[in-house]
Chains A and B, each alone.
Chain A
Amino acid sequence: MSTATAPSPASAPLADGSRRPPSSKRGKKKYDVESGAGVFAPTMMTRVALVAVAILSIFPLYWMVVIASRTTSDAAGFPPALIPGGNLGENFIEALQNPEARLLLGLQNSLIITGTVTASVILISTLGGFAFAKLKFRGSKILMGVVLFAMMVPLQQLGIVPLYMIMVELQWLDTLQAVILPFLVNGFGIFMMRQYVEQAVPDEIIEAARIDGASTIGIWWRIVLPALRPAMVVLGLLTFMLNWNEFLWPFMVLSGENPTIQLAIRQLSTATWSADLSMIFTGTLISIIPIAILFVVFGRQIVSGIMEGSTK
């Protein structure tokens, strides 16, 4: 299976489209069509289809904002309300103060958990990725195979029963470390960093640093880490999004008293289930805001990260 993921990284073009064939410049369209690259000219159908897909992508999110800014009675009926109302601020305050849902505590817990996991995964992955990419040590091939295995198999889900038993034994139920620790195992991070180090850090620089008497850790700190900064941003973003949205494992070990944001909005949606739709949607909106901000600010990096990660 692993072969599917491992064509040579060097041949991959830049995913943000910055390395394009010269023929893609505007004004040379005619020439392209004649030379046979006409398949790449967007047709009317392409545009219509893309607009339709974009609308479908955005609509549920937009509708959530609409309902969150209205009263519940507006949410019922057909055709549905499609224009935002004026109750967003009110609903926000009311949702955050809802004693059953504990949204504020949920936000705080999620920030702690996700922040810790993200920072640790970046650290562990840059260390391991550097070792696998540039250092020679016995057994490195087998160990890399283990990393790929960890990447492919949904360990947190298949090992959920013993993991739960361990947390019961340690009396860690309802604590944040119970959520954090299992998610520090992240094979993808090491894999990704290995690819980046191979590309971004030439062997000669490491040799030169060694001759100057630098230690391995010194090389990691002074040469590898600075070169990896863009990759660290991408890995950080992907890890943050993934863990912010995680539900099953926090659901296993945390109670409603001490929820993550995802548990909190589930609680909100089930406790007041048929009663107050605008409240539920406001809570849902609140849970999405941090990720939405990241997406708007770092969208380019997220897109490139997903695209580059796949061709490697």
Chain B
Amino acid sequence: MTTTTAPPRLSWRERLTRADMKATPYALVAPFFILFAVFGLFPMGYTFYASLHTWKLGNPERAFVGFQNYEFLLVDYSRFNWSVVNTLGMFVMATVPQLICALMVANALNRRLKRPMLWRMLVLAPIVTSVVAVGIIFARIWGQEYGMVNGFLGMFGVDKINWQAERLTSWVAISSMVDWRWMGYNALIYLAAMQTIPRNLYEAATVDGATPRQQFWKITVPQLKPVIIFTVFVSSVGGMTMFVEPMMFGSGRLGGGTDGQFQTTAMVLVDILRTHGNYGVSAAAGWLLFIVIGIVAMVNFLIVNRIQGNK
């Protein structure tokens, strides 16, 4: 109806369509970017600003102090440096065995099994547990008096170990939580990648007399390189921001044991923020953590790249 009265060059309808083509895409992506700007980008920038000031909760006064907050963390507050050591240690102990196991399990799942979906679900089952729940359960499994691990070791005459007391023992216990929860998840990711490897590669290798073990290391692992890099990266970010597992292992407290032997950097950050209300120092801790994650991700990338390159 209306189009008949429209001017000959561009009908209102055509203009509307043109505007729709131009503007609507931005409208569709706008919700994400508005939220990202407010709750993602702005906080990251503001963290840096806050880290350069003395700034405390409930105190309107703030003063520019340059990098003093960073200096305080790196020089005066020994818990911070130790927390980086703890986080790195637990990260390595939680990630290396986990990803190696995941590779093996994926290789097993990649064979012709009856009911493949059932096996995959069984391996993935730990993911239903929240990190808090894992912490609660595993804190008991590693308990000193009645813990299952000590009970088991006791059968071989080993004295009851206080797993919380030492750095290494507490790291073992905490890493086991991460290993348990995430191994199956990573195995499925490797499995998905394994299924994309052309099977004739293996057939050719078998004809050439390569054993299954050789085929695993010379064909499967190199073919999985991009996925391994991806999982190592994701695990680095997850591992370096570890918080709940060590907190629950220490009865829900932020101190990470009597001397902070399993206090992670994220715990230090939250402790400074929640317990001391110190925005400036905790913001500096946030940026330092960000830098450490970047370094760890980079180093991991180089290591994985290199191991693969030699094969």
Chain A residues with CB under 8 A of B222:
none
Q: Does B137 make an interface contact (CB < 8 A)?
A: yes
Q: Does B145 make an interface contact (CB < 8 A)?
A: yes
* A276→B281 CA distance, assembly (Å): 38
Q: Check B227–A61 contact: CB distance below 8 A.
A: no
Q: Does B7 make an interface contact (CB < 8 A)?
A: no
Chain B residues with CB under 8 A of A140:
25
Q: Check B28–A11 contact: CB distance below 8 A.
A: no
Chain B residues with CB under 8 A of A280:
136
Chain B residues with CB under 8 A of A184:
35, 39
Q: Check B39–A185 contact: CB distance below 8 A.
A: yes
Q: Check B121–A299 contact: CB distance below 8 A.
A: yes
Q: Does A310 make an interface contact (CB < 8 A)?
A: yes
Chain B residues with CB under 8 A of A60:
126, 129, 134, 137-138, 141, 180
Chain-B contact segment, one of A91-99, A130-138, A226-234 = A130-138
Q: Does A208 make an interface contact (CB < 8 A)?
A: no
Interface residue ranges, B against A (CB under 8 Å) = 13, 17, 20-22, 24-26, 28-29, 31-33, 35-36, 39-40, 42-44, 46-47, 50, 57, 101, 104-105, 108-113, 116-117, 119-134, 136-138, 140-141, 145-146, 148, 150-152, 154, 180, 183-185, 188-189, 191-193, 195-196, 199, 202-207, 212, 215, 226-227, 229-230, 233, 237, 241, 243-244, 248, 251-253, 266, 269-270, 273-274, 279, 282-283, 286, 289-290, 293, 297, 301
Chain B residues with CB under 8 A of A63:
137, 141
Q: Check A155–B269 contact: CB distance below 8 A.
A: no
CB neighbors of B among A118-149 (8 A): 123-125, 127-128, 130-132, 135-137, 140, 143, 146-147
* A51→B17 CA distance, assembly (Å): 60
| Chain A contact residues: helix, strand, loop or mixed | helix
Chain A residues with CB under 8 A of B196:
7, 11-13, 311
Chain A residues with CB under 8 A of B297:
1
Q: Which residue of A lies closest to B229 (CB)?
A: A4
Q: Which residue of B lies closest to A56 (CB)?
A: B180
Q: Check B47–A266 contact: CB distance below 8 A.
A: no
22 A–B contacts, CB within 8 A, in A order? A17-B116, A46-B108, A50-B108, A75-B140, A127-B29, A127-B31, A131-B25, A143-B29, A154-B293, A157-B266, A160-B43, A160-B286, A161-B283, A162-B43, A162-B46, A181-B39, A186-B32, A213-B17, A252-B274, A281-B137, A295-B125, A295-B128
CB distance from A196 to the nearest CB of B (A): 15
Q: Check A58–B122 contact: CB distance below 8 A.
A: yes
CB distance from B25 to the nearest CB of A (A): 4
Q: Which residue of B lies closest to A267 (CB)?
A: B252
Q: Check B192–A269 contact: CB distance below 8 A.
A: no
Chain B residues with CB under 8 A of A5:
230
Question: Contacting B20 at CB < 8 Å: which of A75, A185, A216?
Answer: A216
Chain A residues with CB under 8 A of B44:
155, 158-159, 162
Q: Which residue of B lies closest to A19 (CB)?
A: B195
Q: Check B252–A168 contact: CB distance below 8 A.
A: no
Query: Per-residue 0/1 for A268-312: is the Cβ within 8 Å of any B Cβ (1 yes, 0 no)?
Result: 011001000100110010011001100100011011001110110
